[in-house]
A and B are shown apart, each in its own frame.
Chain A
Amino acid sequence: MNEESNNEILDEDADLVAGCKAELPADTTSYYELLSKYEGMIYSTCLRMLGDSQEAEEACQDAFLRVFHKVHQFEGRSTFKTWLFRIACNICMTRRKKLAMKRERDQLVGADIVQSSEPQPPAAKRGEEAQAETVNHTLQKLSEEEREIISLRFVSDLSLAEMSDVLGIKLSATKMRLYRAMERFKSVYAEGDIAKLQQGGH
């Protein structure tokens, strides 16, 4: 995306945010436009971070409801887009922690665990489907921080500067964190690939 069209998007967002501030709660026109523009991107990021469509849908709803309640407090120190992503990432992090705690509790009381806390390697399949499954499996094996930064870069397509804004860290630290996450992704992916080959071999 070139700088000019990026600036146009930022201006449009700023107008819509101003519209929200003036119109909400009585009129949701500007809010609806922002929602339509970013819902897909936010849902997709939540889905990669949480690995579950139901959870992602709820996280996405929570993020936009938070926008509804907090947009009056948005001062424009960052762009609306990075502010929204920060909200969504925080919600996903909290949800993941709650899910992990719930799983731990279930294990402690010996409840039937439907889904294992440790993602299982995908069964041997062919072609693209197997590849997609291995990639998904790899994402779920990463730490929250790693999954977050990979999702922001490759799913949400944020620039390094935007990511640095969302994460609240310096640009150089963002780049380093992303690099480490990519390296780890590659190594976990390679392990998964080997496991798959071994399964296929039996």
Chain B
Amino acid sequence: MKNESMIVSDEEFDEAEREIEALLASLDFEMESSPQRIESIMKRVKVEALLKESTDFVTEGMGKGLKGLTDTLTKLVKKDPEPPKRSY
């Protein structure tokens, strides 16, 4: 089992960091943002935004619709709490 709390001296650690830095210096890390990649992310985000907005709209509408129906039914029940007796 790994013991991650094992102590390393600062000198050893710094030396190891310097060595790895020197080795990795040969790699060209592309840290700049790419306009093309950003554009494709924004395209996806805009689609997601439209979907989210329309979902919110539908959910809100359904909420209002259901609430309206519940209110109407509640009013009806309060107004006429006893169902009419059927005559045969």
Give the contacts of B25-45 with A (CB-CB under 8 A): 26-34, 37-38, 40-42, 44-45
- Tell me, in angstroms, the Cα distance from A34 to B27 when the chains sit together: 26
CB-nearest residue of chain A to B47: A65
Closest residue of chain A to B21 (Cβ to Cβ) is A154
Asked if residues A132 and B5 are in contact (CB atoms below 8 Å), the reply is no
Question: Which chain B residues border A83 with CB–CB below 8 Å?
Answer: none
Q: Give the residues in chain A near B46, CB-CB below 8 Å.
A: 28
In this complex, how many residues of chain A approach chain B with their Cβ under 8 Å: the count is 48
Contact of B23 among A35, A135, A169 (CB under 8 A): A135
Which residue of the partner chain B has the closest CB to A179?
Answer: B8
Q: How far is the CA of A172 from the CA of B21 in the complex (A)?
A: 21
A154 touches B37 (CB 8 A): no
What is the CA–CA distance of A135 and B28 in the complex, to the nearest angstrom?
11
Q: Are B16 and A25 in contact (CB under 8 A)?
A: no
Interface majority SS (helix, strand, loop, mixed), chain B: helix
Nearest-Cβ distance from residue A19 to partner chain B, whole angstroms: 15
Per-residue contact bits, chain A 153-176, to B (CB 8 Å; 1 contact, 0 not): 111000000000000011011011
B5 CB → nearest A CB, Å: 6
Main secondary structure on A side of the interface with B: helix
Instruction: State whether the Cβ of B24 lies closer than 8 Å to any Cβ in chain A.
Output: yes
With beta carbons under 8 angstroms apart, the residue of A39, A43, A128 that contacts B26 is A128
Q: Does chain A have a CB within 8 A of B17?
A: yes
Taking CB atoms, residues of chain B closer than 8 Å to A37 are 33
Q: Does B49 contact A (CB under 8 A)?
A: yes
Nearest CB in chain A to that of B28: its residue: A132
A residues in contact with B71, CB < 8 Å: none
Q: Is A126 an interface residue (CB 8 A)?
A: no
Is there an interface contact between B16 and A179, defined as CB atoms closer than 8 Å?
yes
B80 an interface residue at 8 Å Cβ cutoff? no
Q: A132 touching B49 by the CB < 8 A rule?
A: no
Question: A185 contacts B30, CB within 8 Å?
Answer: no
CA A176 to CA B21, docked complex, whole Å: 17
**Residue B19 is within 8 A (CB to CB) of chain A in the complex:** yes
Q: Say yes or no: A36 contacts B33, CB within 8 Å.
A: yes
A43 vs B33: C-alpha distance in the bound complex, in angstroms?
A: 8
Instruction: Find residues 178-200 in chain A having any chain B CB closer than 8 Å to their own CB.
Output: 179-180, 182-183, 185-186, 189
Q: Is A13 positioned at the interface, with any CB of B under 8 Å from its CB?
A: no
Per CB-CB distance, the 3 closest pairs between chain A and chain B, nearest first, are A25-B49, A173-B4, A40-B33
Question: Chain B: residues with CB nearer than 8 A to chain A?
Answer: 2-6, 8, 12-13, 16-17, 19-21, 23-24, 26-34, 37-38, 40-42, 44-46, 48-50, 52-53
Taking A60-B41, A186-B19 as known contacts, 10 extra A-B pairs with beta carbons closer than 8 A to each other, sorted by chain A number, are A35-B41, A35-B42, A40-B34, A57-B37, A64-B41, A68-B48, A69-B48, A173-B5, A177-B4, A185-B20
